[in-house]
Structure 1
């Protein structure tokens, strides 16, 4: 998750901080935590209920924006400090993401292993892609270190790390021609879906759940947006036509999801188009290859939010400060949320059938995330 703690690479002074980025990033982190503890009522309040995409897609866009804001100014082939001075901080961050992923994976395995050992919850040992860890340990360990084996709910950072590793090339191309970078990104996304390009999993068959070849598109769009924001511009301009199209699509998707007759008919129509030979990433709802329906939904959502002044005022309101605090410490809060979500899954399994537990655990978890961010912020202020 590139530079989610608000620090910057060496380079010119950044533009004034956009509180919308912090606030919405914090909100997305809360939603990710809630969605990663299945079986709680609060899931009805998260982004995935509004359409085809969920908090993960929006977070990829936000992470691309964070990368563009944090690193683009320090990365230039004619920089006085040299090209490597701009590349090194990005690759260092990618390495931090890799190490964080390994830690979260081992900690997640330990949470479920302890739950099975101490409380007899042996069913947890086969959940979340853990079967290989306990039944084929040697191969699974190789897979974990090489990122080929990723356990469920802790499998988003590898894609971020790979994309961040490739970010210097993307930034250099984007500085020279944003349209060329966007065209290359769209082409790669289309080929990934058409030819099922993915990084292989190991020891399981198949590929990564968050396929970098597909998900790079919304990361790149976020990157170009962040690069433009740093210069005080918009990558995609505000126009009445685009706003109407984006808003109309969001409303149409809501109807698709919730109007009883419309949804099945549209799904049947997409299946029919698929039978005629249209590529599956155009007609399906698959998450791995970021199909067109998910892609258009998240892009429309981000565009509408960016155009409405009310969201700027909401982000600047005092009530949004806790979310901004969470957003300023994104990697830390994501990591804490990942561990809390796995602990929550074990807790729900232990107290299965006790209805009050999910109602209590989720607010407790969110409060814990806020407290973690507050301590991190306090330490930062103290050291400064």
Structure 2
């Protein structure tokens, strides 16, 4: 269910300016659905492939994630070319130049040869189409992370923290081409949340928790999540929090610890998504709702995550085009575009489920949860 909720929020947030954005997680704290997306990706990777390393089927443990990376790469290229065509069509036939003037699409007009070089190398990424390149790299190193997590989880976590800290302090990143600068989602930083997901998934395979249930941890997570909510919702609290963070930066505290840069997954964002994840994992109410019929649309979207994400990305650009073409002040237009898009994604996931059943393919798992645990699959975990 949580994966489906993250996909729904990603679709809404990828249509900037719509009035449904106020319902998404980015308005209630420092992180957004992207962090949850990558954390769950790590959990799924461990649940799907750790069994091969346990059985010493080394090549299966390596080939599985690498094959997934290849599938993700092909999907990313198809999405990128499709949205580029959509944006270009709106420029030529719809007389809507706004879409191609932002989100790195303008670079294709200025330097098409450079973009055609950078795009297949993952060095040029269009705005809102930049999470799969990160995920591709993470899946390429997933075999090593899973293997290390099974043998030396503490050392893996320390190493991951060291890479995250080094990237955040020295501002190291992978390059762009033909643009200057680095990736929007820095893999050296975001690998930490993926590793935390891997370690969580490995713990679940052992029928235990990676982070134990402790009253003090629950209180700390709740306090931090509440503070983040107040900062986002109460201007006076926001101003006071900004003054505190600015004072700390001026005192020499590294930006990594006191800023909110998404690309480098700086500490306030990281702590927020981890606090939410921990609170959700110990909540009986979330487990009860996940098992109810009301959660079915989110559950089925989560099971078919890759097609839902791919089509949702394309639909989000179509929705942006529609909002530019029609009168964006008409609330009914936003309602039709956003709610219609979400309904289309649910129907897509449902059709994929029916097709899988008709072909006799193994069904993605129904996620169950036991007291004190999170999301224990009954069978092979669904993946994006």
Q: TM-score, normalised by structure 1?
A: 0.92
1:361 equivalent to 2:337? Answer yes
Give 2:7's match in structure 1, choosing from 21, 25, 29: 29
- Confirm or deny: 8 A CA contact 1:27 1:323 kept in the other structure: yes
Distance 2:60 2:264 in 1: 34
1:250 equivalent to 2:208? Answer no
Distance 2:244 2:327 in 1: 40
Partner SS for 1:75:
helix
- How much has 1:354 moved relative to structure 2? 4.2
Deviation by residue 1:142-193 (Cα, 9 ceiling, x = unmatched): 0101111100111100000001100111111100021111111111110010
Relative to 1, partners in 2 of residues 1:134 and 1:300: Cα closer, same or farther, differing over 3 Å? Answer: same
Deviation by residue 1:22-66 (Cα, 9 ceiling, x = unmatched): x11011100100010112111111111110001111111111111
Q: What is the aligned partner in structure 2 of residue 39 from structure 1?
A: 17
Q: What is the aligned partner in structure 1 of residue 185 from structure 2?
A: 210
Distance 1:259 1:375 in 2: 43
- Confirm or deny: 8 A CA contact 2:28 2:233 kept in the other structure: no
Distance 1:354 1:123 in 2: 17
- How much has 1:346 moved relative to structure 2? 0.8
Distance 1:88 1:259 in 2: 49
1:190 equivalent to 2:165? Answer yes
Distance 1:102 1:129 in 2: 15
Distance 2:215 2:174 in 1: 40
Distance 2:279 2:162 in 1: 25
1:64 equivalent to 2:49? Answer no
Distance 1:162 1:75 in 2: 20
Give 1:49's match in structure 2, choosing from 8, 19, 27: 27
Deviation by residue 1:174-225 (Cα, 9 ceiling, x = unmatched): 0002111111111111001011111101111110011110011111111111
Distance 1:149 1:231 in 2: 40
Q: TM-score, normalised by structure 2?
A: 0.92
1:318 equivalent to 2:293? Answer yes
Distance 1:365 1:259 in 2: 31
Point out the more displaced range, 328-337 or 269-278.
269-278
1:94 equivalent to 2:69? Answer yes
Q: What is the aligned partner in structure 2 of residue 18 from structure 1?
A: none
Deviation by residue 1:268-295 (Cα, 9 ceiling, x = unmatched): 2211211222211111111100000000
Matches for 1:163-312 after TM superposition, within 5 Å: 163-312=138-287
Q: What is the aligned partner in structure 1 of residue 92 from structure 2?
A: 117
Partner SS for 1:173:
helix
Relative to 1, partners in 2 of residues 1:257 and 1:378: Cα closer, same or farther, differing over 3 Å? Answer: same
- Confirm or deny: 8 A CA contact 1:256 1:266 kept in the other structure: yes
- How much has 1:252 moved relative to structure 2? 1.5
Distance 2:113 2:95 in 1: 24
Partner SS for 2:119:
helix
Deviation by residue 1:115-167 (Cα, 9 ceiling, x = unmatched): 11111112222121101112200001101011111001111000000011001
Deviation by residue 1:216-236 (Cα, 9 ceiling, x = unmatched): 111111111111112211111
Deviation by residue 1:75-132 (Cα, 9 ceiling, x = unmatched): 24x61xx411210011000111111111110001001011111111122221211011
Distance 2:96 2:120 in 1: 26
- Confirm or deny: 8 A CA contact 2:328 2:334 kept in the other structure: no
- Confirm or deny: 8 A CA contact 1:39 1:358 kept in the other structure: no
Give 1:370's match in structure 2, choosing from 323, 346, 359: 346
Which structure has more relative contact order (CA 8 Å, sep 6+)? It is 1
Specify every segment of 5 or more residues in structure 1 that has no aligned partner in the other structure, as ranges: 1-22
Aligned residue pairs total 359
